[in-house]
Amino acid sequence: MEIKRNVPLIILLILLLVSGFIAMKFYSQAQKLFEKNRGLEEDIAKLSQEKKELLEENAQLDNRAKKLEERWRNIQAELSRVEREKEFLRDRYEMIKREKEILEKKLEQLPQREVSTKKIPQQIPQHWEDVVREKAELQVKLEKLNKGLLDAKAEINKLVKENKELSIKLDQLIQDKEKLENELAFKERTLQVMSKDLVNEREARQTISKELAKLRKENMDLKQEIVLAREEQLQIQNRLKEAMNEKVDLEKRVSQVEKILKEKSLMFQQLKEELARALKGTKEEEPAVQLPPIVVKPKDSSTKEKVSQAQVSSSVPSTFSPLKGSILAVNEKERFVVIDLGQSSGVKVGSKFDVFRGKSLIGSIEVVEAREEISAADIKDVVKGYSLKEGDLVVSK
């Protein structure tokens, strides 16, 4: 019984320990998530800084690429201009060359013209002077053109070389730009994933916080239940003490009833022996059977009465009226009861009584032994569904 009473308390203690363990587990998980969240925030800050630096570097590269493209366009324009000048100089060179050839042909024809024009000798020196001067001017122009052409070719080669170098640098810059854009895209994706993880962890942290608050509330409820259980335990212990005291009283009453039953059994044995002797026709008078006193404890725990043994008497009162009493004790095993009516009330052996509970007839009994204040009666009949109990009313027939 003690174990059964302690079962609720043990269950509450187990629930308290389990809830404390779960709360500690959630708390440790929350701390880990908080540290992980802080690490993720630091990583995000670093990635943001790197992203900012990459964006600045990308902007610088874009500016540099734009400058290189502008320079490349300028070089292309310069190359086009040089090409046009080259074409122009080439055309001019071809034209001067043709003029030179024409002049050379004219020079070759000059002696013949001298022979044929002896009549005007004063015009020949002037003509030669003009030719020589024109030739000298043409040679100077030709040298300048050749020099300009060489310079233009050198400039063109230089520009071509620079163009190739700029093209290589531009390709390298484009590759670097693509690489930086890829890295930036990767870091942005990583940042988005980490942001999602951070949001999920924050939601998980909020959920854990709610669970922790719920567990704390349940823990407080369990503590209150434990306090109530302890109070109930104290009440149960007090009731147990009262029940133990009642048990002691009941054991005393049971021992008294057992004593009465033993006396009753002894009395029945003596009566059987007397009956056997009477049936055999024994003519000798035998002394009255002496039986030990019957002790009955009433329900209200009043002072026990000892009724002295009396001889069986067949006297009948002169006037008859229904007798009313109550059952003091019941023996289901031997099927007899003890009532609070005796010889002083006119009860004798063989008297029959009806047994009532309230207004309902539940059985009948027949007296087998009568004493001064109490009597013993056999149970003759009991209505189905009932059983005789202490306190039932008995009425004589």
The least confident of 119-128, 137-146, 327-336 is 119-128
Residue 125 pLDDT: 55
pLDDT tens for residues 318-368? 445 789 999 999 998 889 999 999 999 999 999 999 999 999 999 999 999
209 pLDDT above the threshold of 60: yes
Q: What percent of the chain has pLDDT over 70?
A: 82
Residue 117 pLDDT: 43
Mean pLDDT of 32-46: 82
The least confident of 14-28, 235-249, 283-297 is 283-297
Average pLDDT of the residues of the chain: 78
Residue 114 pLDDT: 44
Residue 338 pLDDT: 93
Three state DSSP letters for the chain: CHHHHHHHHHHHHHHHHHHHHHHHHHHHHHHHHHHHHHHHHHHHHHHHHHHHHHHHHHHHHHHHHHHHHHHHHHHHHHHHHHHHHHHHHHHHHHHHHHHHHHHHHHHHHHHHHHHHCCCCCCHHHHHHHHHHHHHHHHHHHHHHHHHHHHHHHHHHHHHHHHHHHHHHHHHHHHHHHHHHHHHHHHHHHHHHHHHHHHHHHHHHHHHHHHHHHHHHHHHHHHHHHHHHHHHHHHHHHHHHHHHHHHHHHHHHHHHHHHHHHHHHHHHHHHHHHHHHHHHCCCCCCCCCCCCCCEEECCCCCCCCEEECCCCCCCCCCCCCCCCEEEEEEEECCCCEEEECCCHHHCCCCCCEEEEEECCEEEEEEEEEEECCCCEEEEEEEECCCCCCCCCCEEEEC
300 pLDDT above the threshold of 80: no
Residue 2 pLDDT: 55
Residue 377 pLDDT: 94
Categorize the per-residue pLDDT at 395 as very low, low, confident or very high, splitting at 50, 70 and 90: very high
The least confident of 23-32, 194-203, 292-301 is 292-301
Domains and their CATH numbers in the chain: 2-222 (1.10.287.2610), 321-397 (2.40.10.340)
Categorize the per-residue pLDDT at 271 as very low, low, confident or very high, splitting at 50, 70 and 90: confident
Q: What percent of the chain has pLDDT over 90?
A: 15
pLDDT tens for residues 88-123? 877 887 888 788 788 778 777 765 544 444 444 444
